[in-house]
Each structure stands twice: as C-alpha cells, then as structure tokens.
Chain A
Amino acid sequence: MDPVERTVKAILLAGIAVSVALMAVGLVLGVAHGTMLPRAMVSLSALPSALARLDPAAYVTLGLIVLVVTPFVRVVGSLVAFAVERDRAYVLITATVLVVMCLGVLLGRA
C-alpha cells in the first residue's frame, strides 16, 4: 500500500471502530434504562448536555454521526496525503470534492 492508501484505510477503520463502540455504549445504556433503542436522534445543539447526562440516544446519535462524518474525514485525509506526496493535481481535485460535499450539505442537496 502507498501512503495515500494507508491513510485512507486507517481513517476508515478508526471511523468504524469509534462509531460501533459509541453505538454499543448507547445500546447498553438503553438496556439499563429499559428503553432499548431510541426513536429519534438528538440534535447537534442538544448533544453535549445529553452526552453528559448519559442519555442513550445521545451516544447512539454520536455513533451514527461518526459513521456519517467518516467519508468526509477520509477525503480530508487523502488531501493531506496527496499534499505530503506533493501531487498538486490531486490536492486540487480532492479539495474540489471536499468543497462540493460541504456545498451540498449547506444547500441541502446531494
């Protein structure tokens, strides 16, 4: 594997591991509360306080957020790896993908 491939693989593995661990914590807390799985996600603004009071829904939500954010982090990671390799064309290409992804989220379209 070249450095870009190694970076991509490491980020994806870490993302999956953290996500599954957080969902598992949420499930265990849910079983302890006798609620199993929550029926709604916690909003971003309410997330820190909900995490602090060990709300199961908050941990499940954070786990799913980590899963969803992982491809974004993967793109950022490959951008850095291309930059380290001084591959200008691919720094530009990857930066374009990242900008379009963020634009999609801001415009509410994808």
Chain B
Amino acid sequence: MVVLTALLLVAFVAGVFGSMLGVGGGIVMVPMLTLAFGVPIKTAVATSIVCVIATSSMAQTSFVSRGMTNIRLGMLLEVATSIGAVAGGVTAVLVDGRFLQVAFAFVVFYVAWQMSRRRGDVVPVQTGLLEAGYYDPASGEDVRYGVRRPRLGFVLCLGAGNISGLLGVGGGAFKVPIMNLLMGAPLKATIATSNLMIGVTAATSAAIFYGRGYMDPYWVVPSALGILAGARLGPRLAARMSARALSLTFQVVLAIFGLLMLLKAVGVPV
C-alpha cells in the first residue's frame, strides 16, 4: 500500500510537469521506477510509455478547449515524427547507442542555452501558414500567429522522431524547441501541440510492448491513474504561467533530461 501510494504521488507530479511542458513525463518515470522502486528497466519503459499516452490524452482535453493546440501543425509534423520513429531500427544498426545518448544530452543542453538567451517567448508573426490563435490568460491577450520554415521543421522532426524512437524518450524535448525557436509558434501553442503529438508515437510503442509481455499492471495502473490526475492540473498551470516562467521551467527540465541521459550513457539504469 505504501509503495502504491508513493507511486501515485510520483506519477501525479510527473503528470503535472509532463503535461505542463509538453514532454510527456516518461523520461522522469523511468529513473523513478528503476532507481526508487526497483522495477526492471523494460517494465519501467513500458510503464512510462503508457504514462506518456495518459498525459497526452488528458492534457489535450484541456489544451484543445483553450484553442492552444494547433491540430493541423501537429498532424503535419506527426507524419515526420512517426516515420522517424519507425525508421529508428535502421539507425540503431548504423550508430552506437552510447554515442546517441551523449549526443542527445549535448543537443538538449544546447537547446536549453538557446532558450535562455531569448529571455521570453517568440514574437508572433502572421505568416499565412497554419495560422491559429488562442486567448492567453496570463497576459490577457488574444495571440494570433503563423508558422515559419515548415520544411526545415519537418526534416528536424524526422530526426527527433528517429532519436526518440531509438532512445525510447525525449520526443517532446525536441518537438517543443523545433516548433518554438525554429518555426516561430508561441511556447504555449507548441507545448499544447507537442502534447498531442507524443501520444501517437507512444501508442505505437505501447502496442508493441503489450505484445511482448512487458506490461505489468501492478506498476502501470497506479502510474496511469496518478498521471491522469496530474495531467488535469498541468495544462491549467501552463495556461496561467507567464511564457517567461514556463520557458525557465522547460530549461531546467531539459537540463535534468540531459544529465539523466549522460548517466544512462555511463551505465546507470535510468
């Protein structure tokens, strides 16, 4: 009972941050499960994948109502991320896993540094491409924006899907910066849209993990329930926070992701 209660709490926190930042929270669930609860790594990864789906579905119910999710942008980039993820097996043969983990860490540190230099959100520009708008409760303004550099964003999403397919984590950590820094969509819209996208690759992975028998309901059910509760709260926090504070939180979480990936590269089961 103590274990289950602790797991519910951990999952709740992961659900809040995962949905608030559009990163799914899976990357935090894996080390918590393996290091704090002694769960075998494959079971932990299977559990975290279900957590990502739960985060994505629950967070969307709130983000879509607020008009923050750009469904068309999400669907377009999902083509890239899902193809990238399926092609992960090809890359795995070509590149050493440890090299990828270290590369992931440095890319994530670089992205965090780029975000910190910006000191705030992108200035929305009407480009006439995939335009959307939402009401931002933090600033009290209606935000209208368009998207820039769709081709480059698409190609980078192929890479993001590929890497997250290989490492099993990190989809949102790249999708948010690609849509925000590169394609010029405001942070809140990218977080909401990333939340929608991560469910797609996670659902595919989860179906595979179920087929292979790695799902253990003892860990999955309390984690999923905790995540669902947390992911109801996360989008509300994201909507109300200033873009500056949200960006700062994102940078801290990116740095944690990078450190975890470096730990993984030296053999710690996270």
Least Cβ–Cβ distance between A22 and chain B, in angstroms: 11
Instruction: Report the separation of the CA atoms of residues A60 and B218 in the bound assembly, to the nearest whole angstrom.
Output: 10
B75 at the interface (CB under 8 A from A): yes
Q: Is the CB of A9 within 8 A of B89?
A: no
Q: CB-CB contacts of A1-18 with B at 8 A, as 1s and 0s?
A: 100110011001101100
Q: CB-CB contacts of B70-103 with A at 8 A, as 1s and 0s?
A: 0110011011001101101100000000000000
- Give chain A's interface secondary structure class: helix
- With A1-B67, A41-B213, A70-B53 known to touch, is A97 a contact of B207 (CB < 8 Å)? no
Q: How many residues of B contact A (CB 8 A)?
A: 50
**Chain A residues with Cβ under 8 A from B78's Cβ?**
97
Report the nearest A residue to B62, measured CB to CB: A9
A109 at the interface (CB under 8 A from B): yes
Q: Is the CB of B217 within 8 A of A38?
A: yes
B residues touching A (Cβ–Cβ < 8 Å)? 50, 53-54, 56-58, 60-61, 64-65, 67, 69, 71-72, 75-76, 78-79, 82-83, 85-86, 88-89, 165, 196, 199-208, 210-213, 215-218, 220-222, 224-225, 228
A residues touching B (Cβ–Cβ < 8 Å)? 1, 4-5, 8-9, 12-13, 15-16, 20, 23, 26-27, 37-41, 57, 60-61, 63-65, 67-72, 74-75, 78, 90, 93-94, 96-97, 100-101, 103-105, 107-110
